[in-house]
Amino acid sequence: MKTIAIIGAMQEEITPLLAYFKDYDTKNIGGNSYYIANYKNYKIIIAYSKIGKIHAALTCSSMILCFNADYIIFTGVAGGLSSDLKIGDIVLATSLCQYDVDITAFGHPLGFIPESSVYINTNKILNDIAKQVAKDKNIPLKDGIIASGDTFVSNRDKKQWIIENFNACAVEMEGASIAVVSNLLNIPFCVIRSISDSADDNADINFDEFLSTSAIKSASFVLSMVDKIIKI
Ligand code: SAH
């Protein structure tokens, strides 16, 4: 039986998924609860990692090494960097980077770690499925680079700095962890985010207001993807 893992960062990001699957077992590893449901010959494992790159790396590693996940999907919310992204819009990561990695003192590019790369690409098959879902449901889907770092970005200068240095269209705090771990362990992965704020001076207020509606949008998009993945 194949396994699809769906990861969020915060409880609010997975609540809509748990409401959908209803019947699930729970297993605890490393301070996280993993919810295991059976769905049409597939196993679906859902967890929220807690905020930030380290927590997300632990959850993603556990999904692959302890639960044998065959696919990793991240669902959640993000700050929009591109001016054409509005609150509630859905973004598909083409690649992810860690904007807060800086060993430029040694002559390396910003965001680069030796034996790794600044950008890690997401999986084409999963991305094509996301594009198909968007087409079927008539949802405008923006794809682009998503930048991750351990800061909630709520400042115009920082936002501009990330755009200029990484050409990213959205910013969040976990996606690059999913990319690093899944890529190293050879598991296909994708990152779907719905915009909760614009990473500007109003970001904290917007985030609180739109977290739940944007989280629902991302989760329901991912549920439609699951229905296509199980037909691969
Ligand atoms: N309000 C929360 C903290 C939210 S941190 C609390 O008090 O506990 C923001 C979360 O949403 C992270 O998981 C991150 O991935 C995502 N996110 C949304 N907008 C963001 C932004 N502008 N900058 C960074 N992360 C953002």
The 10s digit of each residue's pLDDT in 158-206 is: 999 999 999 999 999 999 999 999 999 999 999 999 999 999 999 999 9
* Ligand 1 neighbourhood includes 218 CB (under 6 angstroms): no
Ligand 1 close to Cβ of residue 147 (< 6 A): no
Q: What integer pLDDT is reported at residue 14 of this predicted model?
A: 98
Q: What is the pLDDT of residue 213?
A: 98
Are 179 and 120 a contacting pair, CB within 8 Å?
yes
Q: Is the CB of 78 under 6 A from ligand 1?
A: yes
Q: What is the pLDDT of residue 113?
A: 98
* 102-133: pLDDT as tens digits: 999 999 999 999 999 999 999 999 999 999 99
Helix (H) or strand (E) holding 140: none
| Ligand 1 center to 52 CA (angstroms) | 9
Ligand 1 pocket mutation pick from 7, 12, 77 by most atoms within 8 angstroms of CB: 77
Q: What CA–CA distance (Å, rounded) separates 17 from 226?
A: 11
Please report the atom of ligand 1 found closest to the CA of residue 199.
Answer: 22
**What does the block give as tokens for 140?**
């405008």
Distance 27 CA to ligand 1 centre (A): 26
List residues with catalytic annotation: 13, 197
* CA-atom Rg of the chain in angstroms: 17
51 alpha carbon to ligand 1 midpoint, in Å?
Answer: 7
Tell whether ligand 1 has an atom less than 6 A from the beta carbon of residue 176: no
Q: Which atom of ligand 1 is nearest to the CA of 154?
A: 22
Q: Which domains does the chain have, with CATH numbers?
A: 3-230 (3.40.50.1580)
- The pLDDT assigned to 77 comes to 99
pLDDT at 23: 96
Residue type, 131: K
Which residues on adjacent β-strands are paired with residue 39? 42
| C-alpha–C-alpha distance, residues 111 and 186, integer Å | 21
- Quick one: which atom of ligand 1 is closest to the CA of 198? 22
pLDDT of residue 112: 99
Q: What is the pLDDT of residue 198?
A: 98
For residue 180 and ligand 1, the question of a CB distance below 6 A is answered with: no
Q: Which pLDDT score, from 0 to 100, does residue 142 have?
A: 98
pLDDT at 105: 98
Mean pLDDT of 212-222: 98
Place of tokens 């200068």: 157
pLDDT in tens, 40-95: 999 999 999 999 999 999 999 999 999 999 999 999 999 999 999 999 999 999 99
Give the pLDDT score at 65. 98
Does residue 209 have its Cβ closer than 6 Å to ligand 1? no
- For residue 77 and ligand 1, the question of a CB distance below 6 A is answered with yes
The number of the ligand 1 atom at minimal distance from the alpha carbon of 174 is 15
Please report the pLDDT score of residue 66 as a whole number.
Answer: 98
